[in-house]
């Protein structure tokens, strides 16, 4: 059934999106729409049956498999990972022996999170990836600070493999996707689907590669239609089996969006007290968004394959949430009319996370300038190396003066070193001063 609330063709034209799908599940009924092209060279049209990569929304699938294990008494979230994976090794031995699945589900393991090891496409690819993590450095102590961690979810995927006795993709297929027609769980399965091409950069250049298949449990492989994504969300609407995933585990760093962390899910409270869960995903040229409001029986999936997707996502959310539950999304943060003074000397420096550095220098009039320096080929594709001006948002946060990708990014300033300088620059990942 089509969606009458908005014209998706007009929205992708307005926001310069290559192609998009939207699906809305409400009170048991799914409505869907598609617009644009799968590839801007072939110009094949997007249909509602095409598959798009969902990126890190895969983490909700992985978390769901983990909670199934917990519910069956096969896994304890608070026992060390080594209870299941005795050879689990990191550069910091103390961390490796104490990190638990709960740490991994809540991004509080504290180790390097963006590791893109290539280990082939065999059934042992996830196992090999986890073995290669032996040199992964510890950025913060386990449990000390939320810092987004893809590699932690690969470890969770390996736990699923060991306890189920099957490769991760087979478990996904059998337990979560057996009734979903468009889902591809491996790159080889893309041949069985009509799969969109991701488009990168302002020029919308078709991507000529994928991220490593070994990181599939974190979100590098899983592809499907928006319709099948909301059908997956249906189990989180219609069953209490996964209610533990909605419990608040910690408060996220304050990027001006609110939100708390559950087991996999980001938890949101809307005006009027309506509760919801959400996750987003990003791979090479793909952006994905999933929002679920259990009390309203509502799930919204938006998948795109090139362009600045956030303005389109916001437009769809505003239309659907207003119509279905009479609420509006929380406004995005904007620079204050009177900027908060920045203690420039305490902020400037170089901060490093896995594969990426942030170089912060003094700007004009009490501002600072920040540019990313990619340390590997993946990050060179994902970030630009332009210098961006930031001003004070709060005593513990900076905000970009100009919009990037449709919003003003916020950097949170975490901790202090022995010289009272900012210790971590946080944009979702905590990057340590070097």
Residues with a catalytic annotation lie at 56
CA–CA separation, 30 and 24 (whole Å): 6
CA–CA separation, 300 and 283 (whole Å): 20
Write the CB contacts of 4 (distance below 8 Å, at least 6 apart in sequence).
none
Instruction: Give 30's strand partners.
Output: 25
Q: What phi, psi does 259 have (nearest 5°)? A: 100, 145
Helix 8-15 to helix 310-325 angle, to the nearest 10 degrees?
Answer: 150
CA–CA separation, 250 and 154 (whole Å): 21
Alpha-carbon distances of 218 from 5, 107, 136, 302, 337, rounded to whole Å: 33, 12, 16, 19, 39
Alpha-carbon distances of 92 from 95, 98, 131, 155, 176, rounded to whole Å: 5, 10, 14, 16, 35
CA–CA separation, 194 and 181 (whole Å): 11
Of the candidates 253, 233, 257, the residue with the CA atom closest to the CA atom of residue 245: 233
Q: What phi, psi does 224 have (nearest 5°)? A: -170, 175
Q: How many CB atoms lie within 10 A of CB 122?
A: 12
Burial class (CB in 10 A: 0-12, 13-18, 19+), 274: middle
CA–CA separation, 152 and 149 (whole Å): 5
| C-alpha of 103 from chain center | 17
């Amino acid at each position: 059934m089509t969606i009458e609330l908005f014209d998706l063709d007009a929205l992708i034209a307005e926001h310069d999106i290559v192609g998009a799908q939207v699906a809305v599940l409400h009170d048991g009924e799914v409505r869907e729409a598609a617009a644009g092209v799968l590839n801007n060279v072939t110009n094949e049209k997007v249909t509602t049956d095409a598959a798009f990569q969902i990126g890190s929304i895969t983490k909700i699938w992985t978390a769901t498999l983990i909670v199934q294990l917990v519910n069956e008494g096969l896994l304890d979230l608070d026992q060390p990972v080594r209870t299941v994976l005795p050879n689990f090794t990191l550069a910091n031995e103390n961390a490796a022996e104490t990190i638990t699945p709960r740490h991994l589900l809540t991004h509080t393991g504290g180790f390097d999170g963006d590791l893109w090891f290539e280990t082939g496409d065999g059934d042992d690819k996830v196992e090999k990836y986890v073995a290669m993590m032996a040199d992964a450095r510890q950025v913060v102590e386990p449990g000390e600070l939320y810092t987004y961690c893809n590699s932690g979810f690969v470890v969770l995927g390996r736990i699923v493999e060991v306890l189920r006795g099957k490769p991760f993709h087979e478990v996904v297929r059998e337990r979560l996707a057996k009734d979903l027609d468009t889902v591809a769980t491996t790159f080889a399965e893309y041949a069985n689907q009509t799969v969109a091409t991701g488009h990168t950069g302002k020029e919308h250049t078709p991507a000529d590669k994928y991220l490593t298949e070994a990181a599939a449990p974190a979100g590098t492989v899983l592809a499907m239609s928006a319709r099948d994504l909301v059908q997956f969300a249906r189990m989180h609407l219609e069953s209490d089996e996964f209610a533990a995933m909605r419990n608040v585990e910690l408060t996220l760093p304050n990027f001006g969006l609110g939100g708390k962390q559950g087991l996999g899910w980001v938890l949101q409270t809307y005006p009027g007290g309506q509760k919801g869960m959400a996750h987003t995903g990003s791979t090479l040229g793909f952006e994905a968004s999933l929002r679920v409001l259990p009390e309203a029986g509502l799930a919204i999936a938006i998948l795109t394959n090139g362009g600045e997707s956030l303005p389109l996502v916001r437009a769809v959310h505003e239309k659907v949430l207003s119509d279905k539950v009479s609420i509006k999304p929380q406004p995005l943060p904007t620079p204050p009319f009177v900027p908060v003074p920045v203690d420039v000397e305490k902020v400037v420096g170089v901060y490093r996370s896995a594969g990426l550095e942030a170089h912060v220098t003094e700007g004009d009039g009490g501002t600072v300038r920040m540019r990313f320096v990619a340390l590997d080929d993946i990050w060179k594709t994902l970030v630009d190396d332009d210098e961006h001006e930031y001003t004070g948002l709060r005593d513990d946060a900076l905000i970009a003066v100009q919009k990037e990708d449709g919003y003003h990014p916020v950097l949170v300033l975490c901790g202090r070193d022995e010289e009272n300088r900012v210790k971590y620059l946080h944009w979702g990942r905590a990057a340590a001063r070097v």
